[in-house]
């Protein structure tokens, strides 16, 4: 069974810290991995998309890496701000799943001023 | 370029009733997927539509059904509502075949079954 796991489930940091969110998956046959942000009660905002042939993607203060062989991805957030407080979800597209995304349960991030 | 829009934003239904949720895909996207997100959980795949045909289904019973229209908009229908159907329903669109395959999500419909 293909599964996606995110650790930790919740994280609280002071403003200004650099932080790393983790995502692991059980099958290396992926075509891409996408990181999303979700504010309470809202939809998903795409942050970064990494294709299976790529090692990392960057957008502003965000950097996502992908290591298929170890089944891991990390989302690095530099110089965190209170506005970064949200739930961060990792979603994996596996080759034999016909376009279906499998999500982790998310990491709830709180950045304290 | 418009994003994915969903309607309604909130809905309250009684157990046993039927509900229809609507989604307009992002301009240029021809694939629509539906997800159910229970409180505190990651979204779960319900099904996907491509060229008006169901193209993949998750572990949901047949009372969850859908349609995709020629303009690529979509509906999710749920019959015989149960209390456990209370959740945030998310629609996502994608341009299949462009090599990107990233998904754009809407803001969701919050369904409460009482």
What does the pLDDT look like over B28-60, one tens digit per residue? 888 999 999 999 999 999 999 988 999 889 999
Contacts of A99 in chain B (CB under 8 A): 31, 33, 48, 50, 55-56, 94, 96, 101
Q: Is B112 helix (H, G, I), strand (E, B) or coil?
A: strand
Give the span between the Cα atoms of B79 and B83, in whole angstroms.
12
pLDDT for the residue B100:
58
What six digits make up the tokens of A35? 């990181």
Strand-pair category, A19-25 with A4-7: antiparallel
The nearest alpha carbon in chain A to B42 belongs to A105
What does the pLDDT look like over A85-101, one tens digit per residue? 999 999 998 877 777 89
Contact assessment for residue A64 and residue A94, using Cβ atoms and an 8 Å cutoff: no
What does the pLDDT look like over A60-80, one tens digit per residue? 999 999 999 999 999 999 999
Using alpha carbons, select from A4, A1, A52 the residue that is nearest to residue A31: A52
Residue A68, sorted as left (phi over 0), alpha (psi -120 to 50) or beta, turns out to be alpha
Give the span between the Cα atoms of B36 and B50, in whole angstroms.
19
Count CA atoms closer than 13 A to B72's CA, side-chain side.
19
A42 touches chain B (CB under 8 A): yes
A45 touches chain B (CB under 8 A): yes
Contact: B107, A104; criterion CB under 8 Å: no
What does the pLDDT look like over B59-110, one tens digit per residue? 999 999 999 999 999 999 999 999 999 999 999 999 875 445 689 999 999 9
How near does any CA of chain A get to the CA of B18, in Å?
Answer: 23
Extended beta strands in B1-114, E state: 5-7, 10-13, 19-24, 31-37, 44-50, 53-57, 64-68, 74-78, 87-94, 104-105, 109-113
């Amino acid at each position: 069974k293909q599964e996606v796991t995110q650790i930790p489930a919740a994280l609280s940091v002071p403003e200004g810290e650099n932080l790393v969110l983790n995502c692991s998956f059980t099958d290396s046959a992926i075509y891409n991995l996408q990181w999303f942000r979700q504010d309470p009660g809202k939809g998903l905002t795409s942050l970064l998309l990494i294709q299976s042939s790529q090692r990392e993607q960057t957008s502003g203060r965000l950097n996502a890496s992908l290591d298929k062989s170890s089944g891991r991805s990390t989302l690095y957030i530099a110089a965190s701000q209170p506005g970064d407080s949200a739930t961060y979800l990792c979603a994996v597209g596996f080759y034999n799943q016909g376009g279906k995304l499998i999500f982790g349960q998310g990491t709830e991030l709180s950045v304290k001023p | 370029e418009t994003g994915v829009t969903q309607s309604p934003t909130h809905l309250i239904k009684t157990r046993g009733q039927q509900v229809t949720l609507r989604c307009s895909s992002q301009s240029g996207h021809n694939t629509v997927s539906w997800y159910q997100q229970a409180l505190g959980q990651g979204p779960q795949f319900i099904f996907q539509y491509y060229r008006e045909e169901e193209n993949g289904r998750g572990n949901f019973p047949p009372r969850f059904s859908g349609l995709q229209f020629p303009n690529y908009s979509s509906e999710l229908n749920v019959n015989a509502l149960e209390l456990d159907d209370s959740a945030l329903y998310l629609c996502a669109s994608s341009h299949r075949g462009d090599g990107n395959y990233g998904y754009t999500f809407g803001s969701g419909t919050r369904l409460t079954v009482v």
